[in-house]
Amino acid sequence: MKNETQVKDLILSLRSLRKETRRIFYFQATKQQLTENWVIALGALNTKNSSSLEDLAHALRLGSSTTSGIVDRMVAEALVTKERDPLNKRKINISPTEKGMQKYKATYADFWAKLAPVNELDTDKLAALLTTQTALLKKLEGID
């Protein structure tokens, strides 16, 4: 029973941790006039330099229709460009613009700067927490 209470407390604590990091992330994205989804999309494009709508939808964990609307709004803000693939006319390639990449990088730089006090935590305790969290995640992923 004691272990059950500790697991419940850990799950609730992780949920609170996620909520707080999202709050900080959202504030940093808003400073750059970006939404969370826009930052995630720019991050996915940052690693590939261009992506199909389907690949971007997968990265965002959203449907193609929803992603298409997000991309259209990002195009309107000059954060990304859309072009037909010259080898496959049905495929649309989405690429980040310089403006989009600058805003993406500024958002993450500000986000990690805000989280700098976390670096003061004990390294061994952080390692133990990461090990525990990884084991917990593996257990949860095995649940149907």
The answer to whether the Cα torsion of 75, 78, 80, 84 is positive or negative is: positive
Mean pLDDT value of segment 78-95: 88
- Taking alpha carbons only, the member of 127, 51, 142 closest to residue 96 is 51
Mean pLDDT value of segment 15-31: 95
**pTM value?**
0.81
Mean pLDDT value of segment 1-17: 86
Whole-number pLDDT of residue 1 = 57
User: Residue 140: pLDDT above 60?
Assistant: yes
Fold classification of 2-141 is: Arc Repressor Mutant, subunit A (1.10.10)
Q: Cα separation of 136 and 142, whole Å?
A: 10
Cα Rg of the chain (Å, integer): 19
- Which pLDDT tens digit goes with each residue over 24-60? 999 999 999 999 999 999 999 988 767 888 889 998 9
Q: Cα separation of 41 and 133, whole Å?
A: 26
Confidence grade of residue 85 (pLDDT, cut at 50, 70, 90):
confident
User: Residue 81: pLDDT above 90?
Assistant: yes
Whole-number pLDDT of residue 15 = 93
| Residue ranges covered by each domain of the chain | 2-141
More confident residue, 2 or 23: 23
Mean pLDDT value of segment 88-116: 93
